[in-house]
Amino acid sequence: MNVAASDKQLTSLLGNETLARLERLRLQPNRRKTNRTQGEHAAGKGGSSTEFADYRNYVPGDDVRFVDWNIFARLNRPFMKLYQFEEVMHVAILVDGSNSMKFEGKFERACQLAAALGLTALMGVERISAYVVGAAGEPPSVMPPCSGRVSMRRLFNFFERAECGGDATIDSAVESMLRRHKGKGLAIILSDFLTPASLARPFNLLYSAGLEIFALQVLGPTEIDPELTGDLRLVDSEHGRTVDVSSIGELHGIYREHRERLEEHVRRQCRMRNGRFLSISSDAPLDWVLFDLLQRQGWLK
Amino acid sequence: MNPTGFLSPSFAWLFLLVVPLVIVYFLKLKRPRLEIPSLVLWHSVINDQRVNSPFQRFKKHLLLWLQLVILLSLIFAAMQPFLRGGPGSAENLPILIDCSASMAATDTEGGPTRLERAKQRVEELIDGTLPDRVCLIAISDSARQLTEFTNNKRVLRKALGALTVRDVSGNLADGLRMAQALARRETITSVTLVSDGNFGSLETSANGQVIAPVDIELPFELKYERLQTSARNMGITAFNARRQAAVGSDESLTPWNVFVRVDGSPAEETSGEVVLEQDGQEIGRQPIALEPGQSKRLVYSLESSGVSNLVARILADGFDGLETDNTAYLTLPVSRSLFVWCDSELESYRHALGVFPGVVVYPGPSAAGQPDLFDLAITETTEKANPNLEASVRLVVGQIPEDLSELVTSRTGNSPVVDWNRSSLLLQHVNLDNIEITDLPVRGDDVLDQQFREAGYDILATGRTGPLVLARHAPGRETYYLLFHTDRSTLPYRVGFPVLVKNVIDISQHAAGLAEVQGQPTRVLDARTLEPNQAYTVTGPGASDQEFRTGPDGVLSGIPAPRVGIYRIRGSSGTVATVGASVLDAGESSLASADEIVPRDEELRVGASTTTIDTNRPLWPTLAWIAFVVLLVEWWYFQRMTARVAS
C-alpha cells in the first residue's frame, strides 16, 4: 500500500473526514437477504422487533401476548399483531488481487472502496468478511466474518496489508470465496472484470449462495481511453502473452466499443440476478465516488 | 503520342523488390513492447478488425507506405522517365551547331565563348531529347557530320566536347543540305540549328531585318535557336599590298603600298590602334576610331627587296569580342621582273610586251639564262604538245585543246565575235566588236556549253559557230586558249590587243604575286608550285603535322587552314614556305546576326528564337528528390512514434 497516512488519521486508506461521513451511510441492497440470527435488518413479518408489520387471525396455540386487545374489544374477535424480523445481513467483500489490478492504482482504489463499503456495513451492524484473491489455486487472503464498530480497526488493517499479484480470474476468485463463506446477504466484488470467461457461472454461484451482487469495475484511465499510436507489441501482465497491434491509434474506436460491450455484459449479468454494476476510473476522486456516484446509483443511503 | 516515356524501361524488374519489402516490413518490424493489464479487450479488438477488414493491416501502415513511396521513386528514377517536349521531340533529330569564326567571340568580358554556350545548350538538348536519336552536324565553311544518329549520350558528348571553332565563315546552306541528304534515308521532321546567326551571306531585307538567304528547299521544320549576342568587335577584314608603279625593267626596289581594312561591329563605336610589323619589327602604328558599322582603310608604304613577313594587329581600347580577327598576316614576295615566254613567231605579242616595264621576254637578247618556270607563256603550242615549257599562266594562240577535239573543230571562214565575258580578267576592257577572224571554230553537233564546263573549260568569247576563247583554271596553273590565231584576225590592229596583253600580264603578276599580294584567308591555303612528286609536311597552329604530296605538275594544293596563324610547309630540305592565314571576313568580324533564315520558298521563313526550345524533360532528379524528402519524413515519423511510445 502506498497511500500515505498521517499519524492522526485512523487509517491510511481513508481520511478521517471521509470516515466521519461514511459512518452516516448504509448499504442499500435491492432485496433483503438476511440470516435468521438476530440483527438489525427487518427481514419480514413474524419477527420480534418493535416495527409493526401486519395483522392475522388468531389460531389456537398462538402467543396471546401478541393479541391486539384493542381490536378484540371493538370487534370481539382476536387478531394477532405481527412484527418485522430484525435479522443480520452478511456482507462479503471480494477484491481482485490479480496482476491486472497493479496498473494505474486500480488495486489501491479498490481497497479504499472496499474499506469504505465495509465500514458502512459495520456501521449498519452487519457481519462482514473480506477476501483478496491473487493467484489462482492459492488460498486467498481472508478477513473472517466480524461485525460491530469494534471490527473497524480489523477491517482497515486487512486492506492496508493486502497484496496484489497473481493470475486469478474472477471465476476462480468467486469459487475460492464461496468455499469459505457462509450466509446470505451481499457480495461486493471489486475487479476490472477483464476476463475472457463468461461471468454467468460465478454470478450464478453467488446468486445461489443467497448473495446479492454489487459489482464495482475499477479501470485505469488508459484502459478507458488508451492514447497509444504506432505499431506495438502488447504484453499481457498476467500471462505474458503478446499480441502485435499495428496502427493502434486507428483502433481506439473499436477498443471503446469492446470496452463498453464488456461493461454492458457485466451489467446485464448483474441485473439478471437483481444485482448492481458500476464502472469507475481509478483516478476518479474517491469522495466523488463515495458520496456522489454511489449515492446517486442507490448503493449507499 | 504518349506524353511520357522511359529511357531505361528495363529497370522495371526492380518493382519485384516491393514484395520482399512488404514481407520484410511485417516480419522484421521492430515493435516497441508495452505491458498492459490484460489482452482481453485487445484480442477482441484485433479479431474484430481482422473480420471486418482483411486488408486492414495494409491500410494504415504509414511507415510501410512511406518506404514503398521511396522504393517506387527510386525505381522510377532508375527507369529515367521523361516528359515529352510536345511537337519539339522527334524520332531523329539532326542538330546543326555553328562553329564558324564568330562563335569564338565572347559577349561579356571574361565570359564563355559563343561556342561554349552553344555546346552547353546542345548538351541540354541531348539530355532532353533522348531516347530520340540525335545526329550532330558542325557548320563552318562546310558541314561535317560529327556523329551518326544515335541516342548514346557518351558518343554525343564526346563528339560535342571535341568540337572547336574554325576561323572561317559559316556556310549554313551546306549544313542544311547535309540535313536534307540525311532526310532522304531517315525520317526527319525537324532540324535544330544552334548558332549566333552569323552566316556567310547576310542581307538586309526591306523591313530592316537581317536575313540569311539559303538556296535550298527545306523538307523539314527548321528550328533556329539563336544565342543571345551583344558583343562589340573590331577586326581586320582585308590585308593586301600593291607594288607601286615602276619605271624601268628592273623594279627590285619599288616600294609596296600595304592596305589594312578594319571593320567595326554594327552596334557600337569601337576604337584602338593598328600596329604593323615587318619581320618582327614594328614599322607603323595608327590610331583608329570607328562609328557603328563603319570600316576604314589604312595605308602603309614600305620598302622590301626580299621576302618579307608582315603582321597587322589591332590593339582595341577596352573589350573586344573576337580575338582571332585582330591579327592578319601577309607575305611580300621577292621583287623581280615578270618572266615571259613568247614564241618568236608571235611578233605582235612580243611587240606589245615590250611596251610594259618590268617584263623580261624569252627568247630575247636581254634575257640571260632561262628560268625553269615562266610566269607567263604566250605560245602556239599546247601544254601537251610542248611539256618542257612550264608556266604559271599560259596563253595558247590558234590551238584547240586536245581534249576538246571531239567538241570543236577549226575551219577556215569568217567568224565574227557574237558575245564575250566582259568581266573576265582576260577580256575586261577589251572590245571585240567588228573584229574579223578568218579561223572558224565550229562546235560539234548537239554539243552544249555544259559539256565544255564538264571538261573544265569556261567559255569567255563565243563566235557564230562555236567558242572563240576558253579558260581553264587548275591549282597553280591557268591556261587561256584563243581558238583562232590572232595573226589571222584584225585583233592586233585594234586598241583591245594591248589591253588583252596587259590583262594577261596582270593575271600573271597576280599569280606570281609580283604586283599585288593579298592576305591568305583561312579555309584552304592557296595552291603553290613546288618540286613535283615530293612529300611535304604542313604544320599549322594547334594541329598536328599533316602530310601532303605534290603531283607531277609540282602543285601543292588542298591544304586546310581552319585556324588563324602561321602554317609552315617543310620538305626534305627544310622549310620551303611560311604562310600566315587570317580571318579576313567582314561578315564574321561584324558579328552580325540573322533574324531570319529565308529558304528558297519564302513562305517558310524561319525566325530566330532566343528562348530555349521545349525539349523532353527528364524526371529522374525530381523523383530522386521526392525519395529523399520522403526518407526524411519517414525518419521523422519513426523517431516521433518511438518517442511517443517511450513516454
pLDDT per residue over A5-63, tens digit each? 445 788 888 999 999 999 888 888 877 665 555 555 555 555 556 677 788 888 888 88
Would you give the end-to-end CA distance of chain A in angstroms?
Answer: 29
pLDDT at B214: 84
Q: Where does the pLDDT of residue B59 fall: very low under 50, low under 70, confident under 90, or very high at 90 and above?
A: low
Q: Using one digit for the tens of pLDDT, what is the confidence trace for B102-154?
A: 999 988 888 899 999 999 988 888 877 666 788 999 998 889 999 998 888 88
pLDDT at A1: 41
Which of B40, B50, B55 to mutate against chain A (most A CBs within 10 Å)?
B40
Beta bridge partners of B501: none
Neighbour-count burial for B84-106, b at 16+ CB within 10 Å, e otherwise: bbeebbbebbbbbbbbbbbbbbb
> Among A45-59, B96-110, B185-199, B350-364, whose mean pLDDT is lowest?
A45-59
Name residues 71-100 of chain A within 8 A of B (Cβ): 99-100
What's the angle, vertex CA B557, arms to CA B553 and CA B559, rounded to 5?
155
pLDDT at B604: 58
Question: Mean pLDDT highest for which of A246-260, A281-295, B582-596?
Answer: A281-295
Q: Where does the pLDDT of residue A134 fall: very low under 50, low under 70, confident under 90, or very high at 90 and above?
A: confident
Q: Using one digit for the tens of pLDDT, what is the confidence trace for B416-461?
A: 889 999 999 999 999 998 888 988 899 988 888 899 999 999 999 9
Nearest to A237 among B36, B42, B63 (CB): B36
Residue B515: C-alpha distances to residues B359, B373, B522 (Å):
12, 18, 22
Q: Is B48 on the interface with A (CB under 8 A)?
A: yes
On whether the CB atoms of residues B276 and B315 are closer than 8 A, the answer is no
Write down the mean pLDDT value for chain B.
Answer: 84
Q: Between A214 and A2, where is the model more confident?
A: A214
* Cβ count near A84 (within 10 Å): 19
pLDDT at B99: 92
Q: By CB neighbour count within 10 A (0-12 exposed, 13-18 middle, 19+ buried), where does A295 fall? A: middle
Q: Where does the pLDDT of residue A70 fall: very low under 50, low under 70, confident under 90, or very high at 90 and above?
A: very high
Q: Is B476's pLDDT higher than 90? A: no
Q: Kindly list the residues from chain A whose CB atom is less than 8 angstroms away from the CB atom of residue B35.
A: 234-237
Chain center to CA of B262: 22
Q: Is B88's pLDDT higher than 50? A: no
pLDDT at A120: 92
Name residues 61-120 of chain B within 8 A of A (Cβ): 61-63
Q: Where does the pLDDT of residue A2 fall: very low under 50, low under 70, confident under 90, or very high at 90 and above?
A: very low
For B298, which DSSP code? Answer: E
Q: What is the interface pTM, i.e. ipTM, of the complex?
A: 0.79
> Among B203-212, B335-344, B620-629, whose mean pLDDT is lowest?
B203-212
Q: Where does the pLDDT of residue A4 fall: very low under 50, low under 70, confident under 90, or very high at 90 and above?
A: very low
Q: Is B603's pLDDT higher than 70? A: no
pLDDT at B645: 52
Nearest to B38 among A228, A233, A236 (CB): A236
Q: Is B264's pLDDT higher than 50? A: yes
Residue A284: C-alpha distances to residues A105, A106, A116, A279, B333 (Å):
11, 11, 15, 11, 119
Neighbour-count burial for B588-604, b at 16+ CB within 10 Å, e otherwise: bbbbbbbbbbbbeeeee
Q: Using one digit for the tens of pLDDT, what is the confidence trace for B580-589?
A: 999 888 888 8
SS3 content of chain A, % helix, strand, coil (to 5): 35, 30, 35
What counts of helices (H) and strands (E) characterise chain B? 12, 40
What distance in Å separates residue B25's CA from the closest CA in chain A?
A: 12
Cβ contact B37–A223 (<8 Å):
yes
pLDDT at B109: 85
Name residues 124-183 of chain A within 8 A of B (Cβ): none
Q: Using one digit for the tens of pLDDT, what is the confidence trace for B276-311?
A: 999 888 998 999 998 888 889 999 888 877 788 899
Q: Where does the pLDDT of residue B510 fall: very low under 50, low under 70, confident under 90, or very high at 90 and above?
A: confident
Q: Is A286 on the interface with B (CB under 8 A)?
A: no
pLDDT at A129: 93
Q: Is A102 on the interface with B (CB under 8 A)?
A: yes
pLDDT at A296: 92
pLDDT at B227: 86
Q: By CB neighbour count within 10 A (0-12 exposed, 13-18 middle, 19+ buried), where does B607 fall? A: exposed
